[in-house]
Amino acid sequence: MNRERALRTLGLEKGAEAADINRAYRALIRQAHPDAGGSTAVAARITEAYHWLQRAGASPPESPKPSRPKQPAAAEAKTDDSLVLHLPAGDVFARLVEAGHDLGEVSYIDPTTGMVQVTFTADNGVVCQLAATVQSSPVPGSRQPDTQVEFTLDPLASGEAPPIGRVVAHLVRLIKSR
More confident residue, 58 or 117: 117
- The string of pLDDT tens digits covering residues 124-156 is 899 999 999 988 766 566 666 688 899 999 999
User: What pLDDT sits at residue 136?
Assistant: 78
One domain for residues 87 and 46:
no
One domain for residues 51 and 124:
no
Domain that holds residue 27: 3-56
pLDDT at 176 over 80: no
User: What pLDDT sits at residue 11?
Assistant: 84
One domain for residues 48 and 87:
no
One domain for residues 33 and 121:
no
One domain for residues 44 and 84:
no
Convert the chain into a string of H (helix), E (strand) and C (coil). CCHHHHHHHCCCCCCCCHHHHHHHHHHHHHHHCHHHCCCHHHHHHHHHHHHHHHHHCCCCCCCCCCCCCCCCCCEEEEECCEEEECCCHHHHHHHHHHHHHHHCEEEEEECCCCEEEEEEECCCCCEEEEEEEEEEECCCCCCCCEEEEEEEEEECCCCCCCCHHHHHHHHHHHHHCC
The answer to the question of residue 131 being in a domain is yes
One domain for residues 119 and 89:
yes
pTM above 0.85, yes or no: no
One domain for residues 87 and 15:
no
Q: What CATH number is attached to the domain comprising 111?
A: 3.30.310.80
Mean pLDDT of the 11-28 span: 84
Total structural domains in the chain?
2
pLDDT at 45 over 70: yes
